[in-house]
Amino acid sequence: MSANEVTHDDVQEFYGEAAKKPQADLCCPTNYPIEDTSHIPQEVIDRFYGCGSPVGIAEIKNGETVVDLGSGAGIDCFIAAKKAGAVGSVIGIDMTDEMLEVARKSSEKVSENLGYRNVEFRKGYLEEIPVDSETVDLITSNCVINLSPNKVKVFQEMIRTLKDHGRILISDVVSEVSLPKEIREDKQLWGECLGGCVTENQLISYLEQAGFYGVEILGKTFWKTVEKINFYSVSVRAFKHNKSDKCVYEGQKAVYCGPFKVIIDDEGHVFPRNEEVEVCSDTASKLSRPPYKMFFNIIEPDDKTGNSCCTPGANGLSDSPSCC
């Protein structure tokens, strides 16, 4: 690490100040629907420093365990708390005491408004998430990963803490090109969620290297231009799947239903439209779940009906059956 690199301490100092005194226009805040935020105290809303709406598009189910990384004053945790319901649980992780203080104080009011308590805030780093392995259904993060000095570790930690088939939904700022040293070493620009940005391709590559699959860009909007470089806010979803030690073929076949003529999955399997392709049990398990479920028909060895029609969904996350 060079002497000029931005550290956790620099970011903590920046967000300690932003917790004490709200800063309009820091990061690129999004507007949330009023029905999602009506139970949340104003001091939290005033300290919303996100750049997207990961909890709004994560399709949180009742009873899920959600972890929000870099939870700040807690806005996304409190929205998730409403969506996950009384039997769900939400854990916000942040390293900055001043942010945790606002979030913990506000959680009293939120519990009162919701009629149940399912949120807690833990002090910790994204690079060392204080959560047990394989216990989380969904990880969200809103304008935070760009602030980490060790992004590879953050994605490894996400994989560690997620359950098998768990998912992440992150909104973050990306840069059009790799950033020059002068921008990366500027503490103010780093704090403003610009100096620590990587490109969209680099972000996807981090996810793939950590072992995520089904990576999908769900949204992208222009944020601003600094030093002639364009910055964008992107929302990305990806899934975890625990691979078994050996590939076992049990006679299962996958049929890709379209709309494209042919597609290739993350492991290089090729699926021409409407053709039966023999797959191993790992691949069959993956293709029969989101985000692929809506596009495949899995034929079990004892299934006499064979290939049948599919009902593709809008975003592949729906629980409705893939075939009629």
Ligand X SMILES: C[S@@+](CC[C@H](N)C(=O)[O-])C[C@H]1O[C@@H](n2cnc3c(N)ncnc32)[C@H](O)[C@@H]1O
Binding residues (CB under 6 A) for ligand X: these are 8, 11, 15, 27, 48-50, 70-72, 75-76, 94-96, 99, 125-127, 142-144, 147-148, 193
- Cα–Cα–Cα angle for 252, 268, 281, nearest 5°? 25
**Residue 196 · residue 165 · CB < 8 Å:** no
Is 79 or 284 the residue whose CB approaches ligand X more closely? 79
Find all residues with CB under 8 Å of 201, minimum gap 6, and list them: none
Is 127 or 276 the residue whose CB approaches ligand X more closely? 127
Question: In the complex, what is the shortest distance from the CB of residue 119 to ligand X, in angstroms, rounded to a whole number?
Answer: 14
Is 27 or 197 the residue whose CB approaches ligand X more closely? 27
Tokens (6 digits) for 105: 């104080």
Question: In the complex, what is the shortest distance from the CB of residue 146 to ligand X, in angstroms, rounded to a whole number?
Answer: 8
Is 206 or 213 the residue whose CB approaches ligand X more closely? 206
- What are the distances in angstroms from CA 134 to CA 127, 139, 156, 162, 180? 16, 12, 12, 5, 37
**Residue 197 · residue 220 · CB < 8 Å:** no
SS3 content of the chain, % helix, strand, coil (to 5): 30, 25, 45
Tell me the backbone φ, ψ of residue 224, rounded to 5 degrees.
-165, 170
Outline where 115-172 has alpha helix (H).
151-161
Question: In the complex, what is the shortest distance from the CB of residue 27 to ligand X, in angstroms, rounded to a whole number?
Answer: 5
Question: In the complex, what is the shortest distance from the CB of residue 57 to ligand X, in angstroms, rounded to a whole number?
Answer: 14
Is 150 or 288 the residue whose CB approaches ligand X more closely? 150
Question: In the complex, what is the shortest distance from the CB of residue 134 to ligand X, in angstroms, rounded to a whole number?
Answer: 21
- Cα–Cα–Cα angle for 298, 299, 304, nearest 5°? 155
Is 95 or 254 the residue whose CB approaches ligand X more closely? 95
DSSP at 273: B
Find all residues with CB under 8 Å of 255, minimum gap 6, and list them: 271, 274, 275, 276, 277, 296, 297, 298, 299, 307
Question: In the complex, what is the shortest distance from the CB of residue 141 to ligand X, in angstroms, rounded to a whole number?
Answer: 7
Is 82 or 286 the residue whose CB approaches ligand X more closely? 82
Question: In the complex, what is the shortest distance from the CB of residue 170 to ligand X, in angstroms, rounded to a whole number?
Answer: 10
